A and B are shown apart, each in its own frame.
Chain A
């Protein structure tokens, strides 16, 4: 090894030691972005805008449930049928999380910027932050109702990977998940103003094979995302013992 190479090796070793002393890898940074990064957005599929949700609520129908998951879902449905659980957690203004919040009778607004896609979900005024700057999925992230997401652009699609969901997030009403849940979403334009999103869930505790379904969204160029503050005038309550309460006058 010549002297130059030896110096380089020593410098590399020092850099490794430096980060080892710091204890963990540096947090990924967003940007800085150059003019060409903004120009590149024009070459991406045109997903930007407000999208009306089509179709009804997500149900577990057709999901390839493990016996464990099927048993839990059946117990929930039985409790609902017997009026032991009279309402859903959203009655207390908790957001349902992804995917249920993506299938509300409220629109979702997609915003594309360099290194990031942001989805403003009108329901419960929720926001998804999807990093498309090449960073990996976070390791052991804090659980979140909407999970922790990264994304990548393929030829005609945005592909989003999400892990780290809150234990309170349900995939359909009564259908939970384990901490191994991994969601892959593929966003593509079926026609200029029709968006199709294919959701694929893997979770060895809940599904025998990946659970996949596709939802459609209609572009609404005249719509603006509106405020939705659930605590403004919420008169519903789900109590700890499953009772639904309505308070007509406050």
Chain B
């Protein structure tokens, strides 16, 4: 991705997070690098549909050939279930592409930004609620 566009997108994302603040309902964003996005292409290991946050564990092939499990923190089931998600949105074995804002300390994980499902559908972090 061109760096200018990347920076612009990250800036917009920070503004969205700061303005919307759904995850701030439970904790701060101090642990995430909000200026950076990382793309994880891998296989879903577990989808934890739990409060106060969902977690998507994704197995990703590293450059050295090993496989590492990344932990991606998403919204609560309460928040996402009113925005088109369910406990069945992803399941173990699904090939997905997940964009995260990585943890500052370099641990393998981060904050969910968006995810492309096997059928090509893109799921976002937030959005308007529906009936």
Contacts and interface: CB of A to CB of B under 8 A. Distances in A.
A135 interface: no
Interface residues of B, number: 31
B30 A227 contact: no
A154 B129 CA distance: 32
B103 A90 contact: no
A104 B30 contact: no
Interface string A223-250: 1001111101111101000001010110
A67 to B, nearest CB: 27
B24 interface: yes
Given A229-B51, A232-B51, A246-B103, A104 B109 contact: no
Interface string A193-236: 00000000000000000000000000011110011111011111
Contacts of A246: 31, 103, 107, 109
Most buried by A among B24, B27, B103: B27
Contacts, number: 85
Given A220-B131, A222-B131, A248-B108, A233 B31 contact: no
Given A244-B31, A248-B109, A105 B25 contact: yes
A221 B131 CA distance: 8
Interface string A96-138: 0000000011100000000000000011000000000000000
Interface stretch (A28-36, A81-89, A160-168): A81-89
A22 B81 CA distance: 53
Interface in B64-98: 71, 73, 76-79, 81-82
Contacts of B124: none
A233 B48 contact: yes
A146 B60 CA distance: 45
Interface residues of A, number: 34
Contact of B129 (A52, A236, A238, A249): A52
Contacts of A248: 71, 107-109
Contact of B53 (A90, A221, A226, A233): A233
7 contacts: A88-B28, A105-B25, A106-B78, A122-B78, A220-B129, A222-B131, A232-B50
Interface of B: 19-22, 24-28, 30-31, 48, 50-53, 55, 71, 73, 76-79, 81-82, 103, 107-109, 129, 131
